[in-house]
């Protein structure tokens, strides 16, 4: 993601990023692109090398103390692993600033998990991002907890805007399905690219050439889908001439259960998201 920083405005709240991993770092970049002043962003990260890299790279404050980062924050971004969220909230709760927005990108944990561990009526917004957010082509869904207002959702969306597509959900229950489609979806894509490239190698192509062709084919197909406004079905039919090579391939894939395989994978991802919440006591 390029970091062309917009002009800062007085309305930008102070943000504490709890966790400086891939998604935490991505959100820091998105905030800077959106015009957040560097002095109004702090990252809490225990790994010294990672913390110093983020602080130096973005000109922001870095600390190894979650409590210190959270004490003056008007927005808290929880970007730790789901297994680490409970411990992080234990440090946040005693210093939590009344009314501060809690934006969480941790998978599986419902808004009630955070609400029950923070002072009364804490506004929580859940977000399910995906890794292409790193290059500003992500797909994220946000949804409000019990005490979050439309204004809180608008603020969350403005913070995430530079990561790519941001959509709102009316009901938190749908976030497990989002996890299955876009949250885990990039891995499905990579698996299909790998499989297609491997098929090319089996047909006699050099591996590097097969990888390059498969990758660019999917990138180009995705761009055409976005820019044309046509549905995947329409575009698929346009390249599936009767009696041609494409229809032969698609017929073989369908007979092998392509649709069922993808549906089974998405169902497994959604089920695991629900299980994760139960395992962590949500």
For residue 208, count CB atoms less than 10 angstroms from its CB and return exposed for 0-12, middle for 13-18, buried for 19 or more. exposed
Q: Give dist(CA 26, CA 173) in Å, integer.
A: 26
* Strands lying side by side in the sheet with 124-128: 61-63, 41-44, 15-18, 75-78, 101-104, 124-128, 138-144, 164-168
Give how far the C-alpha of residue 68 lies from the chain's centroid of Cα atoms, to the nearest Å: 26
Q: CA 120, 124, 125: angle at the middle one, nearest 5?
A: 170
With respect to residue 60, please indicate whether it lies within any of the assigned structural domains: yes
Task: Write the CATH number for 207.
Answer: 1.10.3730.10
Q: Give dist(CA 25, CA 40) in Å, integer.
A: 15
Q: Which two tokens stand for residue 86?
A: 């409970």
Task: Give pLDDT tens digits for 81-132.
Answer: 999 999 999 999 999 999 999 999 988 899 999 999 999 899 999 999 999 9
Task: Give pLDDT tens digits for 198-207.
Answer: 999 999 999 9
Q: Are residues 149 and 33 in the same domain?
A: yes
Domain containing 198 equals 185-276
What pTM does this model have?
Answer: 0.87
Q: Are residues 147 and 212 in the same domain?
A: no
Angle between helices 150-160 and 22-33 (to 10 degrees): 100
Q: Are residues 102 and 161 in the same domain?
A: yes
Task: Write the CATH number for 100.
Answer: 3.40.50.720
Domain boundary among 172, 199, 217: 172
């Amino acid at each position: 993601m390029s970091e062309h920083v917009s002009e800062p405005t007085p309305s930008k709240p102070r943000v504490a990023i709890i966790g400086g991993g891939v998604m935490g770092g991505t959100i820091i970049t998105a905030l800077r692109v959106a015009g957040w002043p560097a002095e109004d962003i702090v990252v809490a990260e225990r790994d010294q090398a990672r913390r110093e890299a983020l602080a130096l790279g973005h000109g922001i404050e870095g600390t190894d103390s979650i409590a210190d980062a959270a004490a003056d924050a008007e927005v808290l971004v929880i970007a730790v692993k789901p297994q680490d969220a409970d411990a992080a909230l234990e440090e946040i709760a005693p210093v939590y600033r009344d009314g501060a927005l809690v934006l969480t990108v941790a998978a599986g944990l419902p808004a009630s998990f955070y609400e029950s561990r923070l002072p009364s009526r804490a506004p929580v917004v859940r977000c399910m991002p995906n890794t292409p957010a790193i290059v500003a082509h992500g797909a994220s869904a946000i949804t409000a907890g019990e005490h979050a207002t439309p204004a809180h959702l608008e603020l969350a969306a403005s913070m995430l805007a530079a990561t790519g597509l941001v959509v709102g959900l009316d009901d938190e229950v749908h976030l497990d399905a989002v996890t299955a489609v876009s949250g885990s979806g990039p891995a499905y894509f990579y698996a299909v690219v790998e499989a297609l490239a491997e098929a090319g190698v089996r047909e006699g192509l050099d591996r590097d050439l097969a990888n390059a062709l498969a990758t660019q084919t999917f990138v180009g197909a995705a761009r055409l889908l976005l820019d044309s406004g046509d549905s995947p079905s329409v575009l698929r039919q346009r390249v599936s001439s009767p009696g041609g090579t494409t229809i032969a391939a698609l017929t073989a894939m369908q007979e092998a259960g392509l649709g069922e395989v993808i549906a089974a994978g998405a169902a497994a991802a959604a089920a695991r998201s629900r299980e994760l919440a139960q395992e962590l006591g949500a």
